[in-house]
Structure 1
Amino acid sequence: MRSSSLISVTPLLPVALLVLVAAGALVALLGGLGHGRAVVTACLRAALQLGVVSAVITWVIEVGVAVAGFILVMYGVAAYTAGRRVTRSARSAWWAGVPIAAGAAPVLAVLTVSGTVSTDGIVIIPVAGILLGGCLTATALSGRRALDELAQRRGEVEAALALGFMPRAAALEICRPAAAQALVPALDQTRTVGLVTLPGAFVGMLLGGASPIQAGVVQLVVLVALLAAEAATILVTVELVVRGRFGTA
């Protein structure tokens, strides 16, 4: 009989997790990556946060106001996290909420208004989480790459200004190609789906009893939605960078 769960919960599960956490931390530490402690703290936070979410999610999905509040909390955490990755300035960091909202909100609106995605809490919360997570990563990567590029190639920006470029156009000419690379992971994931990986939405649908066709449709919607959201997010992030909203690198 086929198991209905991807992960088997056994007494050895905590041991396996501890071994993997220790291995990741040691590799980061001994390899000089500088994130040994961060690996441990990230895993501990993940365990704690997932435990809390698992405890409250049953109540949240039954109350409309709670669903909206939960999504807003996810949005706030995404904006804060992305902002910290882009800039050290606490005041400037909150600008990260603009590209995340610009990417996730319109896509989520299209999915719900068209009836593609149900507004039931059990559906809308994970879909919103997927979109916000993708936009978080896109904002952090594109913002950081754009700022770094402007800092390292400041002379080229000044040369463009000397040639008559307006400040915004000069900055865009230098940083936009580098920032656009933030879309590559989403592009690669979409191009190789089914050939290299079977993403979480597809596997989750199969384990939940859906047919492979249904699972494929759900995964396609998720991937296309993520591409659209992240493209919009990167565009807005670059615009904010060249307008100086995140400060300088």
Structure 2
Amino acid sequence: MLASDSLVQLHGDVVSPALVAAVVLCTAVAVAVNALGGLGHAGGVLRAAARAVVQLLVVALVITAVLRHAALALAFVALMTTVAGATAARRLTGGRDGWWALAAVAAAALLVLGLLVGVRLVPGGGTGLVAVAGILIGGAMSATVLAGRRALDALRTRHGEWEAALSIGFRERDAALLVARDDAALALVPGLDQTRTVGLVTLPGAFVGMLLGGASPAEAAVVQLVVLVALLAVQSVAVLLVLELVARGRVRGRSQQP
């Protein structure tokens, strides 16, 4: 309980020495492990941590105004979707066609979010909308990037199989799906594992956040269940869409750019 009590003390000195120490030490450990282990992401870890600090401080300053107005909340969701799509595009391809990734992220996340709003599990504005939208958009972005990369890698490394499928009468799209579908579908494994083991191996963020916010364990469990199954839907749609885009040649790897 001591850890929980210290985490929810948000009305005093928010930026406490303990918080600064935790952020600095965890970042230092991650950077050191990457550097010493030759993992190649020491600089990326440092930049990511610095960006997280700046971005969260900015969000903390503007979020109060955003949450007071439904229109601003919707605009903030649109901004999150655009940034997620841009990030996915940059990760998948350096060409203009990478922006098709935005379509996959937006369609997957906003489809499921609209469903939750439609059945009144999520409000149409305010804190609930922004919080759930952030989780779903992040899940769509991750699934799009992972599935897209795996599909593009499969088509590159198994190009001979793609050509063999063409030689026996497959259309280009169907041949690409034959080669890349299983690899792209691996992007669903982390979400499936998280859902299968929830409560037994991990307590995900929504559950912990609800508990720290004062909700009962039952209330936290219900919210987490909705989030998990919504994420499964979002990620499934995102994987299917980006796989189709890759198979149709809309999203291509850097080596395939004209």
Moved more, 128-137 or 27-36: 27-36
**Alignment partners' CA distance in 2, 1:236 and 1:148:** 17
* Paired position in structure 2 for 1:146: 151
Structure 2: give runs of 5+ residues left out of the alignment.
Answer: none
Alignment coverage as a number of residue pairs: 248
1:54-94 deviation line (CA, Å, top 9, x unaligned): 011110111222111111110010001011111121x1121
Aligned runs of 1:1-249 on 2, under 5 Å? 3-6=4-7, 10-89=16-95, 91-248=96-253, 249=255
Moved more, 16-25 or 49-58: 16-25
TM-score after normalising by structure 1: 0.95
Q: Tell me the amino acid that sits aligned with residue 6 of structure 1.
A: L
SS in 1 for 2:47: helix
Q: Tell me the amino acid that sits aligned with residue 23 of structure 1.
A: V
Misfit runs of 4+, over 3 Å: 1-10
User: How far did residue 12 of structure 1 move?
Assistant: 3.0
Is the Cα–Cα contact under 8 Å of residues 71 and 125 in structure 2 kept in the other structure?
Answer: no
Identity of aligned residues (%): 53
**Alignment partners' CA distance in 2, 1:4 and 1:26:** 30
TM-score after normalising by structure 2: 0.92
Is the Cα–Cα contact under 8 Å of residues 4 and 208 in structure 1 kept in the other structure?
Answer: no
Is the Cα–Cα contact under 8 Å of residues 151 and 184 in structure 2 kept in the other structure?
Answer: yes
SS in 1 for 2:17: coil
Is the Cα–Cα contact under 8 Å of residues 206 and 212 in structure 1 kept in the other structure?
Answer: yes
**Alignment partners' CA distance in 1, 2:211 and 2:20:** 26
Is the Cα–Cα contact under 8 Å of residues 142 and 180 in structure 1 kept in the other structure?
Answer: yes
User: How far did residue 247 of structure 1 move?
Assistant: 1.9
User: How far did residue 5 of structure 1 move?
Assistant: 5.0
User: How far did residue 15 of structure 1 move?
Assistant: 2.1
Moved more, 11-20 or 24-33: 11-20
SS in 2 for 1:12: helix
User: How far did residue 106 of structure 1 move?
Assistant: 1.3
Is the Cα–Cα contact under 8 Å of residues 5 and 207 in structure 1 kept in the other structure?
Answer: no
1:87-132 deviation line (CA, Å, top 9, x unaligned): 121x112111111122111111110011111123111001000000
Is the Cα–Cα contact under 8 Å of residues 155 and 180 in structure 2 kept in the other structure?
Answer: yes
